[in-house]
A and B are shown apart, each in its own frame.
Chain A
Amino acid sequence: MNPPRPLLSRVADSLYWMARYIERAENVARFIGVNLHLMLDLPSDEKQWQPIVATTGDAHVFRERYGAATQDSVIEFLARDASNPNSVYSCIRAAREDARSVREIISSEMWEQVNALYLQVRDAQGLAPDALPSYFYEVRMACDQFQGVTDSTMTHNEAWHFIGLGRTLERADKTTRLLDVKYFILLPSVSDVGTPYDEVQWAAVLKSVSGFEMYRKSHGHIAPARVVEFLLFDNEFPRAVRYSVGRADRFLHSITGTPAGTFSCPSEQSLGRLKSELDFGRVEDTVAAGLHEFLDGLQVKMNTIDECILRDFFVPWTAAAGAVI
């Protein structure tokens, strides 16, 4: 048998980001789709678009460029704006550019899928309001298809593990942000447990991560603390932060070959620590100590992990080259 084929640092970098961008596009498309749906249930003076912008982390840029958050301005900014690097359009364009630069590494099916998705969003100018829900649904499905095609047509080798790593870390990041923004709005004070809450809004939070049905199956009634627990600490739901981080940890260990529970590089150490924190966390303690602070901490840790991955795998080995040879 041939030894495993080495993976170029540049290629690993592109694969990781291709996956992150697709996942990001899918999340943003889902957030918009769910919000469109939710707004129909609310009286017109309560229609809220600002929180969605906040979940993408670009509220500041948005305010400067667009001012008030209306349905039109938010959809323009988050879905189509080519100058917003986190818009659905920009993410898919970036994912396709990354895919194009590693076309010989991924399968033809993956390339054709991301290329078709790109052509679809590129040509979707001036969508009529009635066409929006189905448009965002199609984009989501196309992103899901890309992931399905990735899993079923590409060898599960090191390159594939980098794709998985990018996807799961992005997922954990997005769920964390969504929870932070929504929790702050829906339940500003931790002592509010037991006061009336808006079930429609909490259901929308779950739907924003495709988790409504799965939550129902495991927890039944909607209760804020249980929703937070489900999204943070569930170990079976694919968009829960704990599950995603656990998967990311396994992808990383497949890349390095280091046994689980140990570490050989800063990436593994920082990701492993985060995983333990989530594995041994409890929602009651977290809420008591301040959920926002906790979520903020998660964000900082995920940024550190991203930087470690960059240094451990993607930066050209200029300095190391002499030593290794």
Chain B
Amino acid sequence: MRFYSYDPANFYDEMFEAGGRPRSHAQFLIDTIEGLSDGQLLRYQRSADRLLLQMGITFNVYGDSAGAERIFPFDLIPRIVPAAEWQRIEGGLRQRIHALNEFIDDIYHQQKILNDRVIPAEVIQSAASFRPQCRGLNPLRKIWCHIVGTDLVRDRDGQYYVLEDNLRVPSGVSYVLENREVLKRIFPRVFEGLAVCPVNEYPSRLLETLESIAPHYATTPRVVLLTPGMYNSAYFEHSFLAQQMGVQLVEGHDLTVTPDGVFMRTTKGVERVDVIYRRIDDDFLDPEAFRPDSLLGVPGLMAAYQAGRVSLANAPGNGVADDKVVYAYVPEMIRYYEGEEPILPNVPTYLCWRPADRQHVLANLDKLVVKSANESGGYGMLVGPYSTGEQRAEFAAKIEANPRNFIAQPTLALSRVPTIIDDHFEGRHVDLRPYVLYGKEIYVLPGGLTRVALRKGSLVVNSSQGGGSKDTWVLA
């Protein structure tokens, strides 16, 4: 397969310049691919698909009972991030995570940022993800978001923007590791001549991060990963990370809470647990503290956490900074807490609870992307230019009924990467989710999950909505 008929069109292409000339960092890759014999790349692609199925690297789709497991389609053509670009991204992420963490700690203590009127108090009061139960809590080292996956996108001019901060239970890092593994197994030659940063130290870094937040009494802390169970959409990842870190994967009913702390039920009695990497949302974590109908959680867990008997990552309540209305104020937070200008800008955001913004949004629904403040996974979203009149009317009514719950952003012309479609290359839109760990220090994994919208013209990259992924190469 050759690139000569490939058309970057009127988008920022990660591999080609506007005139169709290869970007210098992509030349090696293009040469390798074009050096393959006819049909070889397609054979590699098929091997990769088969391998993913064999390895059982699948995700579950909710509301789809027959054949509920699917592979997350993996496209062989990697996305390359040159070293200088990455340095800026990394700096921007460090700055942002630090500020977000300061903000969460402030919100659950003195609320200086509200008292100084940098952020309107009603934004926080009306945030569904604000947890009054967390007021006054002091997580170890005052860290609330230990594991973060920030979504970045590029617009037509190549500028990177932060699209959202996933602070609660970000997922996808297992695909970063497995995609690299699969590409190395199937097509090792493609790495020749390039210095691609390895990603495989993530599990050790994650374990270090988790151990660093253990209660002080735990000299050899026992870390576990708490999963909602094998029917959760991210179960593969939970199991994979537990395996890679060598820690126990537990479900809610494996744990029991006593006045002394949290214990797991084993064949030889009960064993203390010191740190829980929980992949269950706040709402379902503890039926005594949050939703009483939760069957997934551990009764009494929050009480043990509040008493300092166990550490949780991420800290409950941190979703307050993940609210899409609060997101709009992150640049202000960075200026307020860090005294710096944000390195990575936000996507301009209209807040529907502000009358002027709302008017603008309602008048321009066909041009904007509307998102509800508390949903993720591409659900509860309207992509204006690709919507029908009926869908727009539905969203207009929803916005009028509950303006606090909606934000809108211009429809960005997301950057594209050549992608194997049938037997040739076509440009497909991508985003980028790098992963950040915050324990003793901030660590940014040199790589990330590049999600690709496989449907022609689509801007929605979520796995539940026809998205796939690519390996992401950060060059050293």
Interface residues in chain B, defined as those with a beta carbon under 8 Å from any beta carbon in chain A: 53-56, 229-230, 235, 239-240, 242-243, 248-251, 253-254, 256, 258, 260, 263-271
Whether a CB of chain B sits under 8 angstroms from the CB of A321 is yes
Interface bits A87-127 vs B (CB < 8 Å: 1, else 0): 00000000001001101100010011001100100000000
Binds B, one of A4-12, A142-150, A211-219, A300-308: A4-12
B265 adjacent to A103 (CB under 8 Å): no
Name A's B-contacting residues (CB within 8 A): 5-10, 12, 97, 100-101, 103-104, 108, 111-112, 115-116, 119, 158, 162, 255, 313-314, 316-318, 320-322, 324-325
Nearest CB in chain A: distance from B168 CB, A = 23
Q: Of A108, A314, A318, which contacts B256 at CB under 8 A?
A: A318
Cross-chain pairs A/B with CB under 8 angstroms, 21 sampled? A5-B248, A6-B248, A6-B266, A8-B266, A8-B267, A9-B254, A9-B265, A9-B266, A9-B267, A97-B230, A100-B56, A100-B235, A104-B249, A111-B55, A112-B54, A112-B55, A115-B56, A119-B54, A317-B265, A321-B258, A324-B270
Q: Determine the residue in chain A with the shortest Cβ distance to B261.
A: A325
Q: In the complex, are the beta carbons of A8 and B258 less than 8 A apart?
A: no
The minimal Cβ–Cβ distance linking B297 to chain A, given in whole angstroms, is 15
B243 neighbours in A (Cβ, 8 Å) = 103-104, 108
CA distance A96 to B56 in the complex (A): 10
A324 with B54: in contact, given A8-B254, A103-B239 (CB under 8 Å)? no
**A317-B265, A325-B260, A325-B263 given as contacts; is B239 within 8 A of A10 (CB)?**
no
Which residues from A are CB-within-8-Å of B256? Answer: 316-318, 321
**With the chains together, A72 CA to B311 CA distance in Å?**
58
When C-beta atoms are compared, the residue in chain A nearest to B272 turns out to be A325
In the bound complex, CA of A101 to CA of B231 (Å): 10
- Partner of A8 from the list B54, B240, B250 (CB cut-off 8 Å) is B250
Name the one of B55, B230, B250, B270 contacting A100, with C-beta atoms under 8 angstroms. B230
In the complex, the answer to whether B267 meets A255 with C-beta atoms within 8 Å is yes
Cα distance, A142 to B249, chains bound together (Å): 28
Find chain A residues with CB under 8 A from B266 CB: 6-9, 317
Closest 10 pairs (CB-CB, A-B): A104-B243, A6-B266, A104-B242, A103-B239, A115-B56, A324-B269, A313-B267, A6-B271, A317-B265, A12-B267
What residues on A are CB-neighbors of B54 within 8 Å? 112, 115-116, 119
List chain B residues, Cβ under 8 A from A116: 54
Interchain CB contact under 8 A, B270 and A111: no
The answer to whether A111 touches B56, judged by C-beta atoms less than 8 angstroms apart, is yes
Q: Bound complex: CA of A322 vs CA of B258, how far in Å?
A: 8
Residue of A nearest to B271 (CB): A6
Chain A residues with CB under 8 Å of B269's CB are 317, 320, 324
Q: Which residues of A contact B251 (CB under 8 A)?
A: 10
B425 CB to closest chain A CB (Å) equals 30
A10-B251, A112-B56, A320-B269 are known; give 18 further A-B pairs, CB within 8 A: A9-B266, A100-B235, A104-B239, A104-B240, A108-B55, A115-B55, A116-B54, A119-B53, A255-B267, A313-B267, A314-B267, A316-B265, A321-B256, A322-B258, A324-B270, A325-B260, A325-B263, A325-B270
Determine how close the nearest CB of chain B comes to the CB of A236; give it in whole angstroms: 30
CA distance A101 to B239 in the complex (A): 8
A285, B54: Cα distance in complex, Å: 52
Question: Can you name the residue of chain A whose Cβ is closest to the Cβ of B256?
Answer: A321
Shortest Cβ distance from B236 into A: residue: A103
Q: With CB as the reference atom, state the residue of chain B lying closest to A6.
A: B266
For the complex formed, measure the closest distance between the CB of B198 and the CB atoms of chain A, giving whole angstroms: 19
Cα separation A62 to B51 with both chains bound (whole Å):
38
Distance of A101 Cα from B336 Cα, bound (Å): 46
| Complex CA distance for A112 and B178, rounded to whole angstroms | 14
> Least Cβ distance of A246 to chain B in Å?
22
Chain B contacts for A8, CB-based, 8 A: 248, 250, 254, 264-267
Residues of A within 8 A of B56 (CB): 100, 103, 111-112, 115
What's the nearest-Cβ distance from chain A to residue B152, in Å?
30
User: Which residue of B248, B249, B270 contacts A321 across the interface (Cβ within 8 Å)?
Assistant: B270
Chain A residues with Cβ below 8 Å from B230 are 97, 100-101
